[in-house]
Structure 1
Amino acid sequence: MTSLSTDTSPTPGAKRERRKEARPGELLNAALDLFVEKGFAATRVEEVAARAGVSKGTLFLYFPSKDELFKAVVRESISGRLVEWNSDFEAFKGSSCDMLAYCMNSWWDRVGATRASGLTKLMMSEAGNFPDIAAFYHQEVVQPGHSLIRRILQRGIDRGEFRSMDLDYAVYSVVAPMVFMILSQHSMGVCMPIDCPLDPQKYIASQLGILLDGMRAAPGDPQA
């Protein structure tokens, strides 16, 4: 008597289909690695394709140029996170001090501590040579990020938790410590003592304390 087959392995066609669906993600991962390792100018699409295990022609089916590939990497790795943070902002019920702490710590967890943080260093070093890419990064990452921080600070002012301040400049007081952490991480801590490596959690707590001490509304302030 012939037994029924129990082989559940996918058919060749199904395997190829899954492989095809996985290709964009594999290409983006490979591109992120290479952009962070080598920079934008030095990364070649042939290298990205080879690292992802596909042909150059296959890469161009999904991303018609290196510029478009880089933009897709930024959207996938960084700017897409801003949608999450804006949703968090709308739902947040705590104080504005707690909200700022959450923002800084979650940024580190979701971006700063990941490979994606290397894209910020890349932009700082290569933006001048690639103005179109720089304009894209400003529109997709810098502007929305600053806007979110500004909303948090304005919320604190409106609720009487923060003193009045020039928000255009106050935003940079929040951004600067984050940028320093990125540079420390991707430049081998050249600004740090060799025997005192940067602890991200302690650093964020220290910077946050300094920021909040400077921003909190005093009892005599009109909005307090």
Structure 2
Amino acid sequence: MPSPSFLATKLRTVSVKRERRKEARPGELLDAALDLFVEKGFAATRSEEVAARAGVSKGTLFLYFPTKEELFKAVVRENLSGHFTGWNKEFEAFEGSTPDMLRHVMRLWWQRIGATRLSGITKLMMSEGSNFPELAAFYQAEVVMPGHDLLRRMFRRGVERGEFRPLDIDMAIYTIVAPMIFLMLSKHSSNICMAPSIALDPEQYIAMQAETLLSGLCAPAGSAS
């Protein structure tokens, strides 16, 4: 018969494992939800599917996220909007030129978002946002506007340092956003917009887009004030 001390140790071990499992559940639910939202879209994803993929009951899902809308918002905060504080710190610590910053930003966007399943969230919002205006407004406030603010700061930095010519900064934002959205949509639509004979290499595409933009943005040599 096991000794009392052995039983006590066993109970503590089980308790710790249960606590760890409890703590892990929100992350597992968000991970499962992200997969399903990207695979099926928001409207077609059912709460019970998220719970099943995470290996918990539907009741457990609702314990953490009472509605599918709240679940989606949590996915966005966890994977996108929650990173803007760190991204702003990276901006402030960048010591290179603004043209180098633009190249860096575009490459980093692809590595961290575009090449990952996270880019499927943007596609989802573009295709379903009009049907869910509250979620569209949330996404704009949490992701789009902070992203534009970062790009705005970059363009302003370039102009103030004499590296970029004077420009309409609000419109300049879209010179970066548009090609990146095209790349993301191509990724999630099996390159349907591309000629079959031309392979779209994301890194090469981004590098070319960056240099094309910089050829128009950069101030002529010797013009810096």
Q: Is the CA contact 1:77–1:111 (under 8 Å) kept in the aligned structure 2? A: no
- Write the mapping of 1:1-224 to structure 2, written as runs, cut at 5 A: 11-219=13-221, 221=223, 223-224=224-225
- State whether residues 27 and 52 of structure 1, in contact with CA within 8 Å, keep that contact through their aligned partners in structure 2: yes
Give, in angstroms, the shift of residue 194 of structure 1.
Answer: 2.0
Give 5+ residue unaligned stretches, structure 1: none
Mapped partners of 1:50, 1:194: distance in 2:
38
- Secondary structure at 1:188 match in 2: coil
Structure 2: stretches of 5+ with no match in the other structure: 1-5
CA contact (8 A) 1:127 1:133 kept: yes
Return the alpha-carbon distance in structure 1 between the equivalents of residues 85 and 183 of structure 2: 23
The answer to whether the Cα contact below 8 Å between 1:111 and 1:117 also exists between their aligned partners in 2 is yes
Paired with 1:83 and 1:193, the residues of 2 have a C-alpha distance of: 39
**Contact 1:153 1:162 (8 Å CA) reproduced:** yes
Q: Deviations over 1:150-196 (max 9, x none)?
A: 10010000000000111111000011111011100001101112232
Please give the secondary structure, in 1, of the residue aligned with 2:193. coil
Task: Find the aligned partners of 2:121 and 2:183 in 1 and give their Cα distance.
Answer: 13
Structure 1 length-normalised TM: 0.93
TM-score (structure 2 length as normaliser):
0.92
Distance in 2 separating the partners of 1:76 and 1:186? 22
CA RMSD of aligned residues (A): 1.7
Aligned structure 1 segments of 4 or more residues deviating by more than 6 angstroms? none
Taking only the aligned residue pairs, the percentage that are identical comes to 65
